[in-house]
């Protein structure tokens, strides 16, 4: 059996007296789209933060292609191949759309101080490559982030476009794994369905492995190969969408939701 | 009416303040125009004038800006003026009654000379009434200025401040004109030292004319540019006109020392050194967003390293001795070593320190700046750097027989380094490195998450800024020829910070402008030497309150700092117009956004 | 785009040179050097041959004086910590608030000593000096808040800091313009001259007064902050100003009150300082200001107990540290480096324990 691309093994994280994550374990195989679901406060964003190195787990391990990444600085983890978006959009507000995406390419380029000052042919070529890759990532979302939009400052974008830009920026880091934190939050139904298709395209066209935190079950149903359900920092179910949706514990965790919505 | 009275009262208090600090009493003989317009008079008028202008500001009422109409403006201005004048007059009467000498025992600048100027031979009530009348006139003038139509206001404003500026530069411009053998007695009077009325009128007319022309030209350019998509100011747009201006500017800069004489060249040399420091700090504060209050650290390090590397000696009471460590390198060999030392220090210091958050980083860097000054003055390091007596015999950076200590020559040496620093800054700003710095500055955590090694880039900015600063220090050492610890104080850090902030954070033309204003002007206006720091402090506060993006802002940073939404709305309006066109054209016919 | 053809292996190796914890290493080296200097320096200073060694009296003297200065620092530090707690900004100009009160009280002190009033009614005249100094400092503090800080409440962090620096320069030089650059000698009432024996140690009367006044002030402050309703509102605003305003607290007023309290304490410190060093000058605010801020950070910024503790500890450190640590290494005139020593303490605290002595050991999360 090949090693899973991403392994979260027995991760525990406490904040003061509160256990945000409690011995959480799951794997993501290459080319999978895995969704993480769970009620608010279940620790989903925390797991993202631990994986990307924002803070270390108190216990447990996180491995990328079998090698542990716990303790590495976030920028090294990104360079290793994990990209993420944030629950609340965190763009670079005063940089243009294109520049935001180009920042993503930073870890895939090497122009240093001397090269930048001299603008050697190699550096100039690299800048062009960066620009092209960034534009390609922006282009992944169609014409919404293309053309004249690319020179607009990021703060001028509409909400949905900001989310797309953040994803484009993550894609621009040429990752192996893309982690999306509630990507459809705040979007209207049409945008949500569009985004659902984008996620699948990320796997099919770009060959990425995707880990998604989602609340909208239509999206979860539509994209996931597997679903991991969490509550109070613990995994309570794992499997295909149908398996998880019909799991007793999961239903209980979503107490108050009508059964039909999960079907 | 109430706000007008409050503003007026503040104006009166400001005038009292100006009097108490000495800005009125000590300048009754500084003639700006003819015999009549003195600096003292200007100081007397300026507070009520600004009060009148402030009081007539358009107010936001139910969603729209309500402008004040002419009649009401004049009244408000008059009210503000009356109150300001009365407050000040009351003060003058009080001083007169209480006795100038008794007050002078405490407030040193409330002097008989001041009272002479304010009251003179007149009976006190008359003098008081006169002061109130003057204030009223100034208040009304300020109010009227506000409500004038733009077409008159701009040229008028230009005319006034350019004329006053020439009045201030009464020690420089005549000398320059003399050196160029241009007749100047019609412009500057030999007796009063200031502008003649004829000269003043001429200057006023010329600047008004230039202002009108600039406006017309500006509109034309703006319309031409409006069609283009890109709005980023990545560098100057090379229209033929701006190219010519740039060339002319360059020529002026290159011949300046020969035209303006040694004294002014000396000031310009200092300007160049500070411009270099400003460019260095601009990388730290402007590009990477690190709050560095201790820039004097690198300045001092550079100066003393250069001295020790090029064979300077310690100054003692009886002559000079060799320092504990001394090498005798050529200036041009020593400079790279100085840079290296500074960069290394920057990295060593930065590593533990740069992860601190804004305010703390500021304090720590301040502490470092102070520490090095203390160390350099201390008896402990006396055998190395000469303690309070300092060092002397510093190299004059000679190439062959051509030495650079002469102010006119030093200017070119410093200028060369400034150009180099400008080039480096410009190239870096628009590169991958600059992008990383901007990302780091906008949101450090997110930049880190996006693969930018924040520690590395902070260190890079700090080390580079430090390296440039140390070259500035080295040049300073060459310029003066000797080093005394008195030149290295926390004020250097604050001045350089002021240059960067006032000029415009992250903006290269801004740094240069800031240097000209904050170093050049005080250097040229020697009579105000005592008030330099007061003006500095006031300017810093004023800039932060009124125009935090500085004099020549960097477009991007204006967005970060400016709170006006009007600019954005206007631009968004243009963009929306674009979107309509694009939406209609796009095959999917999607809604905008 | 990567989709065009081969799926590259986009996972890079995560080992290597750069994963060494460089920052850790530098910090450890730094810490070791400090420890070395402290231990070895102290040892060598204390074991110098008898002729060169500092006497026991010297150390006692240093300790007493250090604590006295520490008390003054604590009073100023409280001003910093209170404002920081409420506004999350360092009031750079607080040193000038301190100077203003001291300077203004000087003119009264001078008049009183010249008329003999100072010595005929020493307690009454001292009371007036304190009141005058308090008023002076408070006025400057309130003006600062109104003019320079309030409009910038929501500005990015850089802006109020620059404003504070500018305000500090401005106030300093305004006083220079008013009163001149020279130092003025601050008179000492006869009743405070000389020293008294306490537990066999000679302690100057001024220092006793400093202690008494400082401790009384801190006790009053503690009561005010923890028992009065205004104090409760202050603590609420310090925790979360948005919620506090939703609870009906007038945040603007509380901010002004905070500045006033800081001003009162600084005014008291001003008189104490002037009596201790018997001098006022327009520059007198700068160094004590930085030292007081160091003390506030040392104790844990935002914490009142921390500021007080930090003040005393720093006072002690700067009195004992230089002679104890540096003489052992044959560094001449260790006191001339005293200021550098204070800054070094600041830097070390911020690098190793940004939360201060009473803090959690971690920097505040942004």
- Asked whether the beta carbons of A51 and A179 are under 8 A apart, the reply is yes
CA distance B189 to chain C (A): 31
Q: What is the pTM of this model?
A: 0.86
- B193 sits in the region (left: phi over 0; alpha: psi -120 to 50; else beta) called left
- Asked whether the beta carbons of B280 and B467 are under 8 A apart, the reply is yes
Window C:133-152, CB contacts with B under 8 Å:
147-148, 151-152
**β-bridge partners, A230:** A235
CB contacts < 8 A, B to C, total 165
pLDDT mean for each 10 residues of chain B (593 residues): 88 93 88 85 92 87 79 89 93 90 89 88 89 93 88 87 86 79 81 83 87 76 56 51 79 79 86 96 93 94 92 78 81 93 93 83 88 85 84 82 83 93 93 94 91 93 96 94 89 92 88 90 84 91 87 70 49 55 46 36
Which sign does the torsion angle of CA B118, B120, B124, B128 carry?
A: negative
Averaged pLDDT score across all residues of chain C: 86
- How far from the centroid of its chain's Cα atoms is residue B137's Cα? 31
Q: Give me the residue from C89, C151, C343 closest to B370, CB to CB.
A: C343
| H/E run at residue B447 | helix B444-449
Using the Cβ of B235 and the Cβ atoms of chain C, whether some distance falls under 8 Å is answered with no
Running DSSP on this structure, what letter comes out for residue C146? I
φ/ψ (deg, to 5) at B508: -70, -50
Is the model's pLDDT at C354 over the cut of 80?
no
The string over B416-425, giving b where at least 16 C-beta atoms fall within 10 Å of a residue's C-beta and e elsewhere, is ebbeebbebb
**β-bridge partners, A109:** none
Strands A226-231 and A33-37: parallel
pLDDT, tens digit, 9 for 90 and up, residues A23-64: 999 999 999 999 999 887 767 889 999 999 998 999 999 999
**CA neighbor of B403 nearest in space, from B470, B347, B468, B331:** B331
Helix (H, G, I), strand (E, B), or coil: what is residue C315?
helix
Query: Measured between alpha carbons, how far is B426 from B437 in angstroms, rounded to an integer?
Result: 13
**CB-CB neighbors (< 8 A) of C176 in chain B:** 534
Q: Give me the residue from A92, A130, A143 closest to B586, CB to CB.
A: A143
- The per-residue pLDDT for C362 is 44
Helix (H, G, I), strand (E, B), or coil: what is residue A238?
strand
The string over B525-546, giving b where at least 16 C-beta atoms fall within 10 Å of a residue's C-beta and e elsewhere, is beebeebbbbbbbbbbbbbbbe
Q: Report CA Rg, chain C.
A: 24
- The per-residue pLDDT for B408 is 84
Annotate C180-209 with DSSP letters as a single string: -SS-EEPP--GGG-SEEEETTEEEEHHHHH
Domains in chain C: boundaries: 56-352
- pLDDT above 90 covers what percent of chain C? 51
- The per-residue pLDDT for B82 is 93
- CATH no. for residue A64? 3.40.50.300
CA distance C212 to chain B (A): 31
CA distance B427 to chain A (A): 5
Residue A195 lies in a domain: yes
Task: Pull the structure tokens for residue B140.
Answer: 């009304």
C161 and B455 within 8 Å at the Cβ level: the answer is no
Burial (CB < 10 A; 0-12, 13-18, 19+), residue C236, is middle
Query: Measured between alpha carbons, how far is C149 from C143 in angstroms, rounded to an integer?
Result: 9
Q: Which residue of C has its CA nearest to B499?
A: C162
What A128-133 contacts at long range (C-beta under 8 Å, 24+ apart), as own/partner pairs, is A129/A105, A130/A102, A130/A105, A130/B432, A131/A98, A131/A102, A133/A105, A133/A108, A133/A172, A133/A174, A133/C1
- CATH class for the domain made up of C56-352: mainly alpha
Exposure on the CB side of residue C70, measured as CA atoms within 13 A: 23
φ/ψ (deg, to 5) at B140: -65, -40
pLDDT, tens digit, 9 for 90 and up, residues C79-123: 999 999 898 888 999 999 999 999 999 999 999 998 888 888 888
**CA neighbor of B515 nearest in space, from B502, B506, B530, B532:** B502
Query: Measured between alpha carbons, how far is B291 from C164 in angstroms, rounded to an integer?
Result: 14
B371 and C89 within 8 Å at the Cβ level: the answer is no
The string over B33-53, giving b where at least 16 C-beta atoms fall within 10 Å of a residue's C-beta and e elsewhere, is bbeebbbbbbbbbbbbbbbbb
Is the model's pLDDT at C363 over the cut of 80?
no
**CB-CB neighbors (< 8 A) of B95 in chain C:** none
Exposure on the CB side of residue C6, measured as CA atoms within 13 A: 3
Query: What count of other Cβ atoms lies within 10 Å of the Cβ of residue B570?
Result: 10
**CB-CB neighbors (< 8 A) of B592 in chain A:** 158
Query: Could you report how far apart the first and last alpha carbons of chain B are, in Å?
Result: 47
Query: What count of other Cβ atoms lies within 10 Å of the Cβ of residue B219?
Result: 10
pLDDT, tens digit, 9 for 90 and up, residues A130-188: 999 999 999 999 888 888 888 888 988 999 999 999 999 999 999 999 999 999 988 99
Query: Measured between alpha carbons, how far is B27 from B32 in angstroms, rounded to an integer?
Result: 10
Residue C300: CB partners within 8 Å, gap ≥ 6? Answer: C306, C310, C355, C356, C357, C358, C359
Count of domains observed in chain A = 1
CA distance C110 to chain B (A): 10
Task: Pull the structure tokens for residue C83.
Answer: 């404002």
Using the Cβ of C339 and the Cβ atoms of chain B, whether some distance falls under 8 Å is answered with yes
Query: Measured between alpha carbons, how far is B507 from B43 in angstroms, rounded to an integer?
Result: 32
Top-confidence residue, B267 or C14:
B267
Most confident of A114-123, B171-180, B409-418, C255-264: C255-264
Residue C12: CB partners within 8 Å, gap ≥ 6? Answer: A79, A80, A81
**CB-CB neighbors (< 8 A) of B287 in chain A:** none
B435 and A109 within 8 Å at the Cβ level: the answer is no
Q: Which residue of C has its CA nearest to A138?
A: C1
pLDDT, tens digit, 9 for 90 and up, residues C214-228: 999 999 999 999 999
- B399 sits in the region (left: phi over 0; alpha: psi -120 to 50; else beta) called beta
φ/ψ (deg, to 5) at B324: -60, -40
Query: Measured between alpha carbons, how far is C298 from A118 in angstroms, rounded to an integer?
Result: 46
Residue A164 lies in a domain: no
Q: Which residue of B has its CA nearest to A151?
A: B230
**C-alpha dihedral, C191 to C194 to C197 to C203, nearest 10°:** 100
**CB-CB neighbors (< 8 A) of C159 in chain B:** 544, 548, 561
Helix/strand/coil (H/E/C) assignment for every residue in B67-127: CCCHHHHHHHHHHHHHHHHHHHHHHHHHHHHHCHHHHHCCCCCCCHHHHHHHCCCCCHHHH
A69 and C14 within 8 Å at the Cβ level: the answer is yes
Annotate C72-105 with DSSP letters as a single string: HHHHHHHHHHHHHHHHSS--TTHHHHHHHHHHHH
Helix (H, G, I), strand (E, B), or coil: what is residue C135?
helix
Candidate from B512-521, C42-51, C159-168 with smallest mean pLDDT: C42-51
Which residue range is the domain that position A220 belongs to?
6-81+175-262
CB contacts < 8 A, A to C, total 40
Is the model's pLDDT at C205 over the cut of 60?
yes
pLDDT band at C207 (very low <50, low <70, confident <90, very high): very high
φ/ψ (deg, to 5) at A28: -130, 120
Top-confidence residue, C29 or B574:
C29
- The per-residue pLDDT for B278 is 96
Q: Which residue of A has its CA nearest to B460?
A: A113
- The per-residue pLDDT for C37 is 83
Query: Measured between alpha carbons, how far is C189 from C206 in angstroms, rounded to an integer?
Result: 10
pLDDT band at C347 (very low <50, low <70, confident <90, very high): confident
Task: Pull the structure tokens for residue A195.
Answer: 């985004």
């Amino acid at each position: 059996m090949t090693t899973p691309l991403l392994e979260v093994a027995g991760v525990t994280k406490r904040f003061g007296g509160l256990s945000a994550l409690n011995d959480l374990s799951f794997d993501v195989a290459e080319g999978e789209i895995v969704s993480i679901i769970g009620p608010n406060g279940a620790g989903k964003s925390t797991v993202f933060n631990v994986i990307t190195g924002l803070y270390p787990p108190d216990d447990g391990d996180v491995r990328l292609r079998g090698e542990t990444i716990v303790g590495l600085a976030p920028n090294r983890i990104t360079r290793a191949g994990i990209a993420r978006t944030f629950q609340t959009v965190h763009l670079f507000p005063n940089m243009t759309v294109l520049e935001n995406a180009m920042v993503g390419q930073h870890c895939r380029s090497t122009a240093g101080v001397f090269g930048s000052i001299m603008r050697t042919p190699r550096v100039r070529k690299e800048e062009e490559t960066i620009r092209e890759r960034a534009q390609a990532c922006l282009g992944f979302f169609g014409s919404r982030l293309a053309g004249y939009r690319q020179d607009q400052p990021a703060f001028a974008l509409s909400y949905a476009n900001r989310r797309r830009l953040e994803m484009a920026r993550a894609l621009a880091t040429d990752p192996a794994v893309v982690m999306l934190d509630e990507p459809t939050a705040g979007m209207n139904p049409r945008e949500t369905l569009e985004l659902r298709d984008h996620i699948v395209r990320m796997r099919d066209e770009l060959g990425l492995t995707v880990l998604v935190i989602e609340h909208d079950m239509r999206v979860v149903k539509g994209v996931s190969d597997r679903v991991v359900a969490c509550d109070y920092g613990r995994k309570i179910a794992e499997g295909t969408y149908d398996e998880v949706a019909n799991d007793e514990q999961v239903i209980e965790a979503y107490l108050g939701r009508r059964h039909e919505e999960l079907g | 009416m109430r706000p007008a009275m409050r503003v007026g009262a503040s104006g009166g208090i400001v005038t009292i303040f100006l009097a108490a600090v000495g800005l009125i009493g000590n300048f009754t003989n500084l003639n700006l125009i003819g015999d009549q317009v003195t600096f003292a008079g200007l100081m007397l008028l300026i507070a009520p004038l600004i009060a009148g202008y402030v009081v007539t500001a358009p107010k936001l009422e139910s969603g729209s800006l309500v402008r004040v109409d002419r009649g009401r403006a004049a009244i408000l201005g008059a009210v503000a003026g009356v109150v300001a004048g009365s407050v000040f007059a009351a003060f003058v009467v009080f001083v007169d009654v209480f006795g100038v000498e008794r007050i002078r025992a405490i407030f040193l600048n409330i002097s008989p000379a001041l009272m002479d100027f304010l009251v003179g031979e007149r009976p006190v009530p008359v003098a008081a009434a006169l002061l109130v009348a003057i204030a009223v006139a100034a208040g009304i003038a300020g109010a009227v200025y506000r409500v004038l139509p733009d077409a008159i206001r701009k040229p008028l404003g230009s005319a006034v401040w350019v004329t006053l500026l020439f009045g201030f530069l009464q020690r420089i411009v005549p000398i320059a004109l003399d050196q160029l053998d241009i007749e100047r007695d019609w412009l500057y009077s030999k007796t009063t030292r200031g502008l003649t009325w004829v000269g003043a009128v001429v200057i006023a007319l010329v600047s008004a004319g230039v202002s009108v022309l600039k406006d017309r030209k500006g509109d034309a350019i703006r319309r031409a540019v409006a069609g283009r998509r890109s709005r980023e100011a990545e560098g100057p747009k090379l229209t033929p006109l701006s190219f010519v201006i740039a060339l002319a500017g360059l020529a002026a800069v290159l011949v300046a020392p020969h035209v303006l004489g040694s004294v002014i060249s000396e000031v310009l040399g200092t300007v160049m050194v500070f411009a270099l420091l400003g460019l260095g700090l601009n990388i730290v504060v402007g590009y990477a967003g690190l709050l560095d209050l201790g820039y004097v650290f690198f300045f001092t390090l550079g100066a003393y390293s250069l001295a020790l590397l090029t064979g300077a000696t310690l100054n003692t009471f009886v002559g000079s001795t060799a320092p504990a460590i001394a090498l005798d390198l050529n200036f041009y060999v020593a400079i790279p070593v100085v840079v290296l030392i500074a960069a290394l220090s920057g990295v060593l210091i930065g590593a533990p320190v740069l992860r601190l958050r804004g305010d703390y980083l500021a304090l720590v860097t301040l502490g470092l700046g102070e520490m090095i000054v203390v160390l350099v003055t201390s008896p402990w390091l006396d055998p190395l750097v000469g303690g309070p007596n300092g060092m002397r015999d510093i190299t004059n950076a000679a190439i062959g027989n051509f030495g650079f200590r002469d102010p006119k020559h030093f200017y070119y040496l410093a200028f060369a380094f400034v150009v180099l620093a400008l080039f480096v800054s410009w190239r870096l700003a628009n590169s991958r490195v600059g992008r990383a710095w901007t990302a780091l500055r906008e949101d450090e955590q997110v930049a880190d998450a996006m693969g930018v090694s924040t520690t590395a880039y902070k260190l890079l900015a700090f080390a580079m800024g430090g390296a440039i600063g140390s070259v500035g220090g080295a040049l300073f050492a060459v310029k003066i020829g000797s080093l005394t610890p008195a030149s290295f104080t926390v004020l250097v850090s604050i001045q350089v910070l002021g240059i960067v902030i006032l000029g415009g954070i992250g903006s290269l033309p801004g740094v240069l402008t800031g240097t000209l204003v904050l170093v050049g002007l005080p250097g040229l206006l020697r009579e105000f030497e005592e008030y330099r720091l007061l003006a500095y402090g006031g300017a810093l506060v004023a800039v932060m309150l009124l125009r935090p993006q500085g004099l020549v802002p960097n477009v991007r940073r204006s967005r970060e700092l400016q709170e006006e939404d009007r600019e954005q709305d206007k631009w968004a309006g243009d963009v929306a117009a674009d979107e309509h066109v694009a939406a209609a054209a796009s095959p999917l016919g999607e809604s905008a956004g | 785009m990567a989709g065009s053809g081969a799926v590259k292996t986009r996972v890079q190796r995560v080992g290597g040179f750069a994963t060494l914890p460089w920052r850790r290493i530098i910090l450890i080296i730094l810490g070791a050097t400090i420890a070395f200097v402290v231990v070895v320096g102290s040892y060598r200073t204390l074991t110098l041959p008898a002729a060169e060694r500092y006497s026991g009296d010297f150390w006692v003297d240093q300790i007493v004086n250090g604590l006295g200065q520490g008390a003054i620092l604590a009073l100023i530090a409280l001003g910093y910590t209170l404002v920081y707690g409420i506004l999350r900004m360092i009031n750079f100009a607080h040193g000038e608030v301190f100077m203003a009160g001291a300077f203004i009280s000087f003119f009264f002190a001078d008049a009183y000593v010249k008329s003999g009033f100072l010595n005929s009614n020493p307690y009454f005249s001292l009371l007036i000096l304190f009141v005058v100094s308090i008023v002076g400092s408070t006025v400057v503090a309130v003006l600062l808040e109104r003019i320079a800080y309030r409009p910038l409440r929501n500005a990015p962090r850089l802006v109020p800091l620059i404003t504070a620096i500018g305000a500090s320069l401005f106030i300093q030089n305004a006083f220079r313009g008013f009163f001149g650059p020279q130092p003025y000698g601050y008179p000492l009432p006869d009743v405070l001259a000389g020293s008294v024996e306490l537990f066999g140690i000679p302690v100057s009367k001024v220092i006793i007064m400093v202690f008494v006044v400082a401790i009384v002030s801190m006790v009053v402050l503690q009561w005010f902050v923890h028992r009065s309703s205004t104090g409760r509102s202050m603590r609420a605003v310090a925790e979360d100003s948005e919620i506090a305003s939703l609870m009906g607290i007038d945040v603007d007023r509380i901010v002004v009150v905070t500045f006033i309290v800081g001003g009162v304490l600084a005014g008291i410190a001003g008189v104490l300082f002037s009596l201790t060093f018997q001098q006022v000058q327009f520059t007198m605010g700068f160094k004590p200001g930085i030292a007081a801020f160091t003390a506030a950070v040392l104790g844990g910024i935002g914490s009142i107990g921390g500021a007080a503790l930090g003040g005393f500890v720093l006072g002690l450190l700067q009195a004992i540290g230089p002679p104890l640590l540096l003489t052992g290494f044959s560094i001449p005139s260790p006191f001339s480096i005293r200021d550098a020593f204070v800054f070094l303490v600041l830097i070390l605290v911020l690098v190793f324990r940004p939360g201060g002595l009473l803090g959690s050991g971690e920097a505040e999360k942004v």
